Chains A and B, each alone.
Chain A
Amino acid sequence: MASAMLSLASVSPSASLSTHETPKGKLKLGSTSWSLNKERNCLFAKTESFGRVSMVAAVNVSKFEGVTMAPPDPILGVSEAFKASTNESKLNLGVGAYRTEDLQPYVLDVVKKAENLMIERGENKEYLPIEGLAAFNKVTAELLFGADNPVIKQQRLATVQGLSGTGSLRLAGAFIERYFPGAKVLISSPTWGNHKNIFNDSRVPWSEYRYYDPKTVGLDFEGMIADIKAAPEGSFVLLHGCAHNPTGIDPTPEQWEKIADVIQEKNHIPFFDVAYQGFASGSLDTDAASVRLFAARGLELLVAQSYSKNLGLYAERIGAINVVCASSDAATRVKSQLKRIARPMYSNPPIHGARIVANVVGDPALFNEWKAEMEMMAGRIKGVRQKLYDSLTATDKSGKDWSFILKQIGMFSFTGLNKAQTENMTNKWHVYMTKDGRISLAGLSLAKCEYLSDAIIDSYHNVS
Chain B
Amino acid sequence: MESQAGGSVFSHVPQVPEVPLYAMQAAYGKDSSPQKLNLGIGVYRTEDGRPVLLDVVSRAEQLLVNDLSSFKDYLPITGMPDFNRLSAALVLGADSPAIKENRVTTAQCLSGSGSIRIGADFLAKHYGQHHIVYMSQQTYGNHPNFFSAAGIAIKTYRYYDPGTRGLDFQGMLEDLRSSPTGAIVLLQACAQNPTGVDPTMSQWKQIRQLIRSKGLLPFFDCAYQGFVSGNLEEDAQSIRLFVADGGECLIAQSYSKNMGLYGERVGALSIVCKTAEVACNVESQLKLVIRPMYSNPPIHGAAIVAAILKDRDMYNEWSIEVKAMADRLMSMRQHLFNALRDKGTPGDWSYIIRQVGMFTFSGLSPEQVAFITKEYHIYLPSDGRINMAGLGPKTVPHLADAIHAAVTTAV
Name A residues whose Cβ lies closer than 8 Å to a Cβ of B: 1, 3-5, 35, 37, 39-42, 44, 54-56, 58, 60-70, 72-73, 76, 80, 95, 97, 105-107, 111-112, 115-116, 119, 122-130, 163-164, 166-167, 170, 179-180, 194, 197-198, 200-202, 234, 264, 267, 269, 298-300, 308, 312-317, 323, 325-327, 330, 332-334, 336-337, 339-340, 343-353
Q: Is there an interface contact between B16 and A336, defined as CB atoms closer than 8 Å?
A: yes
Instruction: Give the chain B neighbours of A69 by CB distance below 8 A.
Output: 280-281, 284
Partner of A170, one of B18, B261, B294: B294
What are some 10 contacts across the A-B interface (CB < 8 A)? A40-B276, A44-B277, A56-B277, A62-B248, A63-B127, A64-B271, A119-B61, A166-B293, A347-B142, A352-B298
Given contacts A170-B293, A352-B301, are A105 and B276 in contact (CB under 8 A)?
no
| Also in contact, A62 and B299, with CB within 8 A (given A124-B52, A346-B117) | no
Flag if A343 contacts B19 (CB, 8 Å). yes
- Report whether A76 and B298 are in contact in the complex, using a CB–CB cutoff of 8 Å: no
Contact A115/B65 with A70-B287, A197-B292 known, Cβ cut-off 8 Å = yes
B84, chain A: closest CB distance, angstroms? 9
Give the distance in Å from the alpha carbon of A43 to the alpha carbon of B279 in the complex.
12
Interface of B is mostly: loop
From 105 to 152 in chain B, residues with beta carbon under 8 angstroms from any chain A beta carbon are 105, 109-111, 113-114, 117, 126-128, 142, 145-146, 148-149
Contacts of A336 in B (CB 8 A): 15-16, 18
Separation of A116 and B61 alpha carbons in the complex (Å): 10
CB distance from A162 to the nearest CB of B (A): 8
Contact A39 B81 (CB under 8 A): yes
- Tell whether, in the assembled complex, residue A122 and residue B81 are in contact, meaning their CB atoms are under 8 Å apart: no
For the complex formed, measure the closest distance between the CB of B179 and the CB atoms of chain A, giving whole angstroms.
Answer: 15
Per CB-CB distance, the 5 closest pairs between chain A and chain B, nearest first, are A351-B263, A62-B274, A163-B294, A315-B299, A326-B8
Taking the closest CB of chain B, its distance from the CB of A157, in whole angstroms, is: 12
Residue of B nearest to A163 (CB): B294
* Shortest Cβ distance from residue A375 to the other chain B in the assembled complex, whole angstroms: 20
| Beta-carbon contact of B146 and A352 below 8 Å | no
Structural contact, B126 and A326, CB atoms closer than 8 A: no
Q: Are B4 and A267 interface neighbours, CB within 8 A?
A: yes
The residue from A97, A327, A344 contacting B146, defined by CB atoms under 8 A apart: A344
A350 with B3, Cβ < 8 A, contacts A42-B277, A126-B51, A327-B8 known: no
Minimum Cβ distance to chain A for residue B410 (Å): 38
Chain B nearest Cβ from A359, distance in angstroms: 13
- The distance in angstroms between the C-alpha atoms of A202 and B145, with both chains bound, is 16
Q: Are A316 and B102 interface neighbours, CB within 8 A?
A: no
Q: How far is the CB of A397 from chain B (nearest CB, A)?
A: 39
A325 cross-chain contacts in B, Cβ below 8 A: 8, 10
Cα–Cα distance between A353 and B264 once the two chains are bound (Å): 9
Instruction: Point out the residue from B5, B13, B19, B292 that lies within 8 Å of A337, measured CB to CB.
Output: B13
Taking CB atoms, residues of chain A closer than 8 Å to B260 are 124-125
Q: How far is the CB of A31 from chain B (nearest CB, A)?
A: 19
When distances are taken between beta carbons in the complex, the residues of chain B under 8 Å from A112 are 65
User: A170–B292 contact, CB under 8 A?
Assistant: yes
A314's nearest neighbour on chain B, judged by CB, is B74
Residues of chain B having any CB pair with chain A under 8 Å: 1, 3-5, 7-16, 18-19, 22, 41, 43, 51-53, 57-58, 61-62, 65, 70-78, 81, 101-102, 105, 109-111, 113-114, 117, 126-128, 142, 145-146, 148-149, 182, 217, 246-248, 256, 260-265, 271, 273-285, 287-289, 291-301
Residues from chain A with a CB closer than 8 A to the CB of B19 are: 130, 343
With a cutoff of 8 Å between Cβ atoms, the chain B residues found around residue A39 in the complex are: 76, 78, 81, 283
Minimum Cβ distance to chain A for residue B183 (Å): 11
Which residues of the partner chain B approach A317 to less than 8 Å between Cβ atoms?
Answer: 294-298
Name which residue of chain A comes closest to B16, CB basis: A336
Judging by beta carbons under 8 Å apart, are B8 and A70 in contact? no
Report the separation of the CA atoms of residues A459 and B1 in the bound assembly, to the nearest whole angstrom: 51
Determine how close the nearest CB of chain A comes to the CB of B16; give it in whole angstroms: 4
- Asked if A44 and B280 sit within 8 Å, CB to CB, the answer is yes
In Å, the complex CA distance between A127 and B301 comes to 13
List B contacts of A201 (CB < 8 A): 289, 292-293
On chain B, the residues within 8 Å of A58 by CB distance are 274-275
- Collect the chain B residues with CB atoms within 8 Å of residue A127's CB: 41, 43, 256, 262-263
Q: Give the distance to chain B from A172, nearest Cβ to Cβ, in Å.
A: 13
Minimum CB–CB distance for A197 against chain B, Å: 4
CB distance B110 to A315 under 8 Å? no
Neighbour of A67 across the interface among B74, B78, B282, B294, CB < 8 A: B282
Contact between B8 and A315, CB atoms less than 8 A apart: no
Give which listed residue, A41, A60, A299, A351, contacts B264 with CB less than 8 A: A351
Selected from B4, B62, B72, the residue in CB contact (under 8 A) with A119 is B62
Q: Are A300 and B4 in contact (CB under 8 A)?
A: yes
Q: Which residues of A contact B78 (CB under 8 A)?
A: 39
Bound Cα distance from A330 to B70, whole angstroms: 43
* B13-A333 in contact (CB<8A): yes
Q: Chain A's nearest CB lies how many Å from the CB of B198?
A: 23
Complex contact A234–B1 (CB within 8 A): yes
Asked if A1 and B275 make an inter-chain contact with CB atoms under 8 angstroms apart, the answer reads yes
* A97-B73, A312-B72 known; A330 vs B265 contact (CB < 8 Å): no
Q: Find the residue from B3, B71, B78, B275 having the highest chain A CB count within 10 A.
A: B275
Contact B10 A352 (CB under 8 A): no
Interface centre among B11, B61, B127, B276 (most CB of A within 10 A): B276
Within the complex, what minimum Cβ distance (angstroms) separates A32 from chain B?
15
Specify which of B18, B110, B293 lies most central, judged by the most chain A CB atoms within 10 Å of its CB: B293
Q: Are B279 and A65 in contact (CB under 8 A)?
A: no
Q: How far is the CB of A111 from chain B (nearest CB, A)?
A: 8
The answer to whether B142 touches A125, judged by C-beta atoms less than 8 angstroms apart, is no
**Roughly how many angstroms separate A72 CA and B117 CA in the complex, as a whole number?**
22
Q: Are B288 and A70 neighbours in the complex by a CB distance under 8 Å?
A: yes
Q: Is the CB of B53 within 8 A of A122?
A: yes
* Cβ distance A116 to chain B, nearest Cβ, rounded Å: 6
Question: Given A56-B275, A315-B74, A350-B263, A64–B65 Cβ distance below 8 Å?
Answer: no
Give every chain A residue within 8 A of B142 (Cβ-Cβ).
Answer: 343-344, 347
B110–A119 CB distance below 8 A: no
Out of B1, B182, B262, name the residue touching A63 (CB < 8 Å).
B182
* Contact, CB under 8 Å: B300 / A352: yes
Given A39-B81, A352-B264, 16 more A-B residue pairs with CB atoms under 8 Å apart are: A37-B283, A42-B276, A58-B274, A63-B127, A64-B278, A70-B288, A122-B53, A122-B58, A126-B51, A166-B292, A308-B74, A330-B13, A336-B15, A346-B109, A346-B117, A350-B298
Which residues of A sit under 8 angstroms from B43, Cβ to Cβ?
Answer: 126-127
Q: Is there an interface contact between B292 and A60, defined as CB atoms closer than 8 Å?
A: no
Given A67-B285, A234-B1, A325-B8, A97–B276 Cβ distance below 8 Å? no
Contact A64 B8 (CB under 8 A): no
- B274 to chain A: closest CB distance in Å? 4
Evaluate contact between B262 and A125: CB separation under 8 angstroms. Answer: yes
- For residue A326, which residues in chain B have a CB less than 8 angstroms away from its CB? 7-10
Contact assessment for B3 and A267 in the assembled complex, using a CB-CB cutoff below 8 Å = yes
